[in-house]
Structure 1
Amino acid sequence: MSTFERYLTLWVGLCIVAGVALGHVMPGVFHAIGAAEVAKVNLPVAALIWLMVIPMLLKIDFAALRQVSQHWRGIGVTLFINWAVKPFSMAALGWLFVGYLFRPYLPPDQIDSYIAGLIILAAAPCTAMVFVWSNLTKGEPHFTLSQVALNDTIMVVAFAPIVGLLLGLSAITAPWGTLVLSVVLYIVIPVLIAQVIRRSLLVSGGQPALDRLLRTMSPISLAALLATLVLLFGFQGEQILAQPAVIGLLAVPILIQVYVNAGLAYVLNRAAGEQHCVAGPSALIGASNFFELAVAAAISLFGFNSGAALATVVGVLIEVPVMLSVVWIVNRSQGWYERGAARKGAALKPASRAA
């Protein structure tokens, strides 16, 4: 994990301060950026999102889908958590905490928007940081790669319908045109661009050429994320200063969702007899979110000033420390895990664990 990634929460905190301060000092600049839209898509943010997402998608080898059957139990558990549990559990937690328990303490005109942001955050499984978490748990690299490739493939067709369904159940109008445009703009096109670049590099210079580009692009990707957050908080500054507790309240359902889904995936893998080197990344994939996509979709659907955009940013703020705590739990519980039903899979030799 790079220094940037290790201290991501610190950088996000600094972006909050910088964004709020700049929003007060240069409101005209932020309003001009917010007005640079075509078909409800903010062009500066779209450019930043591409700089965030494409380097991450360069790591994905869709040829790894051929390996899915090698760890079918872990794959099945993770798919169940990602697509049948996580979005719906987050919607339920959003309705309970934001829509009911915390309602008196939140701006009443933003309640639905906060819930929408939580739904968007949970509807997209993590792509890039999963490789970091998997490596920290000595996860089986072929499982991690094939699972991420499969999730990205499913995301192309499932993200918009799931978000639209849950927004409808929450009595929030789903702008389907913008939602589909977000999928095309922030998933389909970046995936195609990343795969063209990946294949060209592998043909011309092999894996070393791809690795060099990834090392170059990684800080650019994170810098684009931080720049997007500065813009978001430049627009959200007034609301945050007026109600600083909002961020803490929005973090509650996200934290519960992370730990519950990670724990459920971990236990289900144990019951299925899957190896620990598969159960670890399975739990982490089931718990983490593709927050770059969530931020972009929330901005496109509801705007910079929306509670939805703020809710997705809270996911960014707590991502690293929370996921590191899940990594710690997975590593410390390996002995307990392997004494249980996972012993049924002991005859299956783990594949290479090279990062």
Structure 2
Amino acid sequence: MSTLTRRTDPAGSAVVGRLSRLDRFLPVWIGLAMVVGLLLGRLIPGLDDALDAVAVGGISLPIAIGLLVMMYPVLAKVRYDRLDTVTGDRRLLISSLVLNWLVGPAVMFALAWVFLADQPAYRTGLIIVGLARCIAMVVIWNDLACGDREAAAVLVALNSVFQVLAFGLLGWFYLAVLPGWLGLPGAELRVSAWEIARNVLVFLGIPLLAGYLTRRLGERARGREWYESRLLPRVGPVALYGLLFTIVILFALQGDAITGRPFDVARIALPLLVYFALMWAGSYALGRALGLGYARTTTLAFTAAGNNFELAIAVAIGTFGVASGQALAGVVGPLIEVPVLVGLVHVSLWARRRFFTPPLDREASR
């Protein structure tokens, strides 16, 4: 974890050690960041236009900076010489691809039609959120829950490649083809593979390269012990600062939309709550059934439940406009995802003690 230290007991099982104040009260800081962002968006005229004036890959520059700062420390912690232990785990890789690209979009499509059948704009926005799979914040949730960092890096990279290849195709299928088969009204989605690839290169490629070079050069210069005991504890907290900064800016950008239409936000939030609960719990149960161990089960669950909200918002705004219902649905995504997945971090740590004994948790001693 960013500021979490771990210790190993004599039997070799890892247990959660001392939490810093930042980690211990993380839900409080996130709640305050959301409130501060909403207040800034409401109280400072023109703030949203100023923040949105410069964009990177369709994302406001301040949010882009926050995302990059947030992801870099976690990716600097990854032991890249261990990635082969993940790529050889076919159960994990296949399960992740099935959950992300078959189950996830289908579940969101069904929930969008069940809860928002009379709201085509919000329904379309939710379906877009379901198509945008994990890339950024999921590395934070996984790290906080003591998941497998190497597995998270591989799964995020793998899903990013599939995102470039499959996002547009699945968007066409779920918004145009499948509704037609079912006799339902459809919609069109205009997005190019290059726009998605650019998003992936910026928000995954840059922090991944920076993290890899930091570890490689740091270990070469001073050794692994110095790198992990001296450098990482200094770099680690930056991830959560980046997360809080991103949340403030995100909610400042959409403060008027969120506070001005509370009933609509509540309607969009309900299927999202069901979605996150179903995807996380189902993936966690699958990992447990496959015997993946706690760390990889946790990584599987969070990478399946998390969404690439920055891509979803960018696509919704680019296709339907910044003031559209589709864009509002995209914005409500992180509004619900952030507190829910923070809660699921605590559920995951509880489940570790309840369901994973040392013999089953083979990766716990990492």
TM-score (norm 2): 0.74
Structure 1 residues 229-240: aligned runs within 5 Å:
229-240=247-258
Q: Is the 8 A contact 1:121 1:294 kept in 2?
A: yes
Deviation of 1:185 (Å): 0.8
For residue 301 of structure 2, the aligned residue among 280, 287, 297 is 287
Q: Is the 8 A contact 1:156 1:183 kept in 2?
A: yes
Aligned equivalent of 2:354: 332
Q: Is the 8 A contact 1:57 1:128 kept in 2?
A: no
Q: Which runs of 5+ in 1 are unaligned?
A: 136-143, 339-345
Q: Could you say if the C-alpha distance between residues 270 and 233 of structure 1 is closer, same or farther in structure 2, counting changes exceeding 3 Å? A: closer
Q: Could you say if the C-alpha distance between residues 146 and 228 of structure 1 is closer, same or farther in structure 2, counting changes exceeding 3 Å? A: closer
Q: Could you say if the C-alpha distance between residues 38 and 16 of structure 1 is closer, same or farther in structure 2, counting changes exceeding 3 Å? A: closer
Deviation of 1:36 (Å): 1.6
Aligned equivalent of 2:34: 16
Q: Could you say if the C-alpha distance between residues 14 and 166 of structure 1 is closer, same or farther in structure 2, counting changes exceeding 3 Å? A: farther
For residue 82 of structure 2, the aligned residue among 60, 64, 68 is 64
Higher mean C-alpha displacement, 199-208 vs 83-92: 83-92
Q: Is the 8 A contact 1:91 1:119 kept in 2?
A: no
Distance 1:92 1:51 in 2: 35
Higher mean C-alpha displacement, 199-208 vs 237-246: 237-246
Structure 1 residues 10-89: aligned runs within 5 Å:
10-37=28-55, 40-68=58-86, 72-74=90-92, 76-89=94-107
Aligned equivalent of 1:151: 155
Q: Is the 8 A contact 2:294 2:363 kept in 1?
A: no
Q: CA RMSD in A?
A: 3.4
Deviation of 1:110 (Å): 4.1
Distance 1:329 1:194 in 2: 30
Distance 1:279 1:50 in 2: 30
Verify: 1:131 aligned to 2:143, yes or no.
yes
Q: Is the 8 A contact 2:135 2:160 kept in 1?
A: no
Verify: 1:212 aligned to 2:224, yes or no.
no
User: Deviations along 1:31-89, whole A, 9 cap, x unmatched?
Assistant: 11211236634322222221111112112233323213775545544454344423433
Verify: 1:228 aligned to 2:246, yes or no.
yes
Distance 2:306 2:94 in 1: 25
Verify: 1:179 aligned to 2:196, yes or no.
yes
Distance 2:149 2:56 in 1: 35
- Greater fraction helix: 1
Aligned equivalent of 1:163: 167
Q: Is the 8 A contact 1:202 1:209 kept in 2?
A: yes
The one-letter amino acid of 1:130's match is N
Distance 1:71 1:40 in 2: 35
Deviation of 1:11 (Å): 2.2
Aligned equivalent of 1:260: 278
Aligned equivalent of 1:140: none
What secondary structure sits across from 1:354 in the alignment? coil
User: Deviations along 1:14-46, whole A, 9 cap, x unmatched?
Assistant: 122212221222222331121123663432222
Deviation of 1:223 (Å): 2.0
Higher mean C-alpha displacement, 15-24 vs 305-314: 305-314
Q: Is the 8 A contact 1:30 1:235 kept in 2?
A: yes
Higher mean C-alpha displacement, 88-97 vs 313-322: 88-97
The one-letter amino acid of 2:46's match is G
Aligned equivalent of 1:317: 339
Q: Could you say if the C-alpha distance between residues 279 and 125 of structure 1 is closer, same or farther in structure 2, counting changes exceeding 3 Å? A: farther
Aligned equivalent of 2:184: none
Aligned equivalent of 1:138: none
The one-letter amino acid of 1:155's match is N
Structure 1 residues 232-251: aligned runs within 5 Å:
232-251=250-269
The one-letter amino acid of 2:341's match is E
